[in-house]
Structure 1
Amino acid sequence: METIKLVFTHLNGWGLTAILLLTGILEFSFGLYRNWKATDKAVDLASILLGRLVMPAIVSWFALTLLPNVIPQLRNVFSWVPLGWGILLLAVSDDLTQYWYHRLHHEVPWLWKFHRTHHSAPYMGMAMASRQNFIYTVLFPQIYATITLTYLGLGLPALVVRGIKGLITTMAHSSIRWDKPLYEHKWLHLVAWVLERTISLPATHHAHHAAHDRDGVGHYQGNYGNMFFLWDVIFGTAKITRKYPEQYGLEHYQEEEWYAQLFYPVFKSRKEGSELAETPAKPVAVTRILTEDITPEGVAV
């Protein structure tokens, strides 16, 4: 138990950050960010800072102040649950909650505006992995579900799930197509078949970020899974092609101001016709246009 705790403490502490930085350096060396525009830089970097500096304060208040005052009698009530069952409970509660939260933000027009920022990046990579409207992030239900279960005594299972999920979701956003050998080598096809129906891989998650579906790969109205792609298989939103989209991006992206993308509806865009403007265009979550500024060409390995 102590070894598991030590491994996942380090993974959640400095391990995932190191993986993110090293992968980002590789992506940069492959030329992904050669056309990284000022607006996108601001949105990406501000999202990372908000996630590292502000969200921990909110999470700490919820865990250390709110829960002890609201349900003091339930602290560690589930501490008897075996590690394996605890991991299963945390994994399902966290990721299934996020699947539906994510899916609703694609299917409900007014919710789409809060998730739109994550899809406005015309590229995939470590820089945009945390790119989100801050209100969308603050209201992540899976965060509070996991914190509550931790308070109830499932701290070690939460640590394990957080580490594994962080690793999977980080690498699914990478522009480095590390899953490509699974599709190219026949002897790995069985491994590919199992993995692509179980967890999010670059091919399936990139399809979710596609600029369009005319290439037969893009599937922005599906492939919602974060850690587990299994939810898409179960709920009929999966599309598996073992290919990668031609281009990434978002229809009507006008490089809206960084503050509008991060803090809508507190701050709105001044760009006429923007979905984030005071008088927005009709929200469209299901149609995209080509984005030619940054593509994954030349960065796949």
Structure 2
Amino acid sequence: MIKFLETISQSLNGLGFPALILLLGILEFSLGLYEKRWTKNERILDIVSFIFPPLVLAPVLAFLGLKFLPHIIPQYHNAFSWVPFIWGFFIIAIADDLTQYWYHRLHHQIPFLWRFHRTHHSAPYMGMAMASRQNIIYTFLFSQIYLTVILVYLGLGYPALFVRALKTLIVTFAHSSIKWDKPFYKYKILHPVAWVLERLISTPATHHAHHSSSTDDGVGYYKGNFGNMFFLWDVIFGTAHISRRYPKAYGISHYEGDEWYAQLLWPILKSKKEGSELSRRGPAVREDIVAEPVLSSADQHQPEFQTATIKSLNNLSPSAIN
């Protein structure tokens, strides 16, 4: 069994992932799931994000880390090499994904940090094209990259390769516009499996909710569902929202179509879009307040008007997670 898993992880960490993502992308495009929302600006941003941060920046940081650590803690090299594969897998998986849960969550809760993560949420669509769409500095500061490098140096390199393969599969398919989890909700016989699955790992239903442009429909929940590989962290820390449905709209409600270079390199490069969170004098977190029509004083005392006004004042951007 271990040999079989080793073969799969080696294949995926080689040419397997590019081939898988290419096939998934072709399937998504053939089904017309991006419609006309994949503009030139979005295409450039998604392609550069797909190539540079995960395929260039992260491996370079890992390489440099493994070259640097022998000069700092030479006595601990391969100190954990005696740990069995299964325990090494759990150590790496928990350390990597739990760290990313909190890293991700803080970028939604701290206004200054939000602008580094905003790039990932600006896409008005879901799909493999935007799965790695991140600000380069956000990726550079990925705490789990450095934690995983240290654990690899300590002798857990093989389990780390398998965790990377498994995590990439789960995260890619959670972002995909192909709703592979739908049959688990549709057929009653599969409901027990769905109950476990949706609480254990990220699925399209739970992760798509995190990318919704609104919470008004009871489906979108960008104030939670922060888990990447494991949704279990959201369950444990009280940020889970499970509806078994999918949002009708994705992205940021006030998205201005910021230039791809600003989204990749803010704050080094700024957006030229006036009022954008990424512009030179833009707000850390932009709040959308929908203007209500002017009504007579008699109408303003009607319950319907009062409810609508309260709703509009609370219609904050997906980043306003306070």
Alignment of 1:191-270 (within 5 A): 191-270=193-272
Which digits, 9 at most, give the CA deviation of each residue in 1:152-176, with x for residues without a partner?
A: 0011111111111111001000000
Greater CA radius of gyration, 1 or 2? 2
The equivalent residue for 1:293 is none
The equivalent residue for 1:18 is 19
- How far apart in 2 are the matches of 1:66 and 1:198? 35
- How far apart in 1 are the matches of 2:68 and 2:24? 37
The equivalent residue for 2:310 is none
The equivalent residue for 2:62 is 59
Which digits, 9 at most, give the CA deviation of each residue in 1:227-267, with x for residues without a partner?
A: 00000000000000000001001032111111110000011
- How far apart in 1 are the matches of 2:197 and 2:18? 24
- Give the C-alpha shift of residue 21 in structure 1: 1.0
The equivalent residue for 2:176 is 174
Q: Secondary structure at the match of 1:238?
A: coil
Consecutive unaligned residues of structure 2, counting only runs of 5 or more, are: 288-314
- How far apart in 1 are the matches of 2:161 and 2:202? 20
The equivalent residue for 2:293 is none
- How far apart in 1 are the matches of 2:179 and 2:35? 18
**RCO (CA 8 Å, sep 6+): is it higher in 1 or 2?**
1
Which digits, 9 at most, give the CA deviation of each residue in 1:6-38, with x for residues without a partner?
A: 321111212222221111111000112331111
The equivalent residue for 1:283 is 285
Counterpart amino acid of 2:12? Answer: L
Counterpart amino acid of 2:316? Answer: T
The equivalent residue for 1:30 is 31
Consecutive unaligned residues of structure 1, counting only runs of 5 or more, are: 290-301
CA RMSD of aligned residues (A): 1.5
Which digits, 9 at most, give the CA deviation of each residue in 1:255-281, with x for residues without a partner?
A: 111111000001111111010011013
* TM-score, structure 2 as length reference: 0.86
1:105–1:112 contact (8 Å) kept in structure 2: yes
* TM-score, structure 1 as length reference: 0.92
- Give the C-alpha shift of residue 284 in structure 1: 3.9
Counterpart amino acid of 1:281? Answer: P
Percent of residue pairs identical: 58
- How far apart in 2 are the matches of 1:20 and 1:220? 25
- Give the C-alpha shift of residue 282 in structure 1: 4.4
- How far apart in 2 are the matches of 1:253 and 1:89? 39
1:109–1:284 contact (8 Å) kept in structure 2: no
- How far apart in 1 are the matches of 2:56 and 2:95? 26
The equivalent residue for 1:185 is 187
- Give the C-alpha shift of residue 85 in structure 1: 1.0
- How far apart in 1 are the matches of 2:86 and 2:202? 22
- Give the C-alpha shift of residue 3 in structure 1: 4.4
Alignment of 1:91-170 (within 5 A): 91-170=93-172
- Give the C-alpha shift of residue 48 in structure 1: 1.2
- Give the C-alpha shift of residue 58 in structure 1: 2.5
The equivalent residue for 2:295 is none
Counterpart amino acid of 1:162? Answer: R
